Amino acid sequence: MAVTFRLPASSAPATPSWRFITVSTLGAIAAIGLTGWLGLRSGAPWLMAPFGASCVLVFGLPDSPLAQPRSIIGGHLIATLVGLVVLHTLGDAWWAAALAVGLALGLMQLTRTVHAPAGADPLVVLAAHAPFQFLLTPVLAGSLAIVTVAWVVNNLRSRGSYPRYWH
């Protein structure tokens, strides 16, 4: 007697259309390319790893609450500020990193600016021993660049589709 093993049917979302995938890919390239180029032109680092994850959300899942401008800009600003305050008051110990990520999540929830990629910002801040200027460049400047490219690209894809809300 042969035993057949079958997985249940997947309830994962369907694969997006090739057009959606192509536009998402080009949007991510444009957003990260813009932040990299602006960093090169300004002499200040504009690229940080969480921005890549922000692009996955804003171009791959543009309708998600986590992909809206309020969450991208606010989430990155709040999480980075928490990281900076923790770094400059408590140092960069493992427990300070844990505290910073937890506090960042709590404040993002409180302010309705939850953005999953921003949860990594305090870790970036502590690892880099970032100065307070880091809040403006790359965080604010880079977040604004990503939202601007997202606004252009997503509305070229489907007019009036992005953002779903600003506040």
Q: In this model, does residue 116 exceed pLDDT 70? A: yes
Per DSSP, the three-state class of 115 is: coil
Q: Exposed/middle/buried for 143, CB within 10 Å: 0-12, 13-18, 19+?
A: buried
Instruction: Mark 34-62 as b/e (b = at least 16 C-beta within 10 Å).
Output: bbbebbeeeeebbebebbebbbebbbbeb
- pLDDT the model gives residue 1: 65
- pLDDT the model gives residue 154: 94
pTM of whole model > 0.85?
A: yes
* High-pLDDT (> 70) share of the chain, %: 99
Per-chain mean pLDDT for the chain: 94
Contacts of 73 (CB under 8 A, 6+ apart): 113, 140, 143, 144, 147
- pLDDT the model gives residue 43: 87
Question: Average pLDDT of 73-98?
Answer: 98
- 12: confidence class by pLDDT, cuts 50, 70, 90: confident
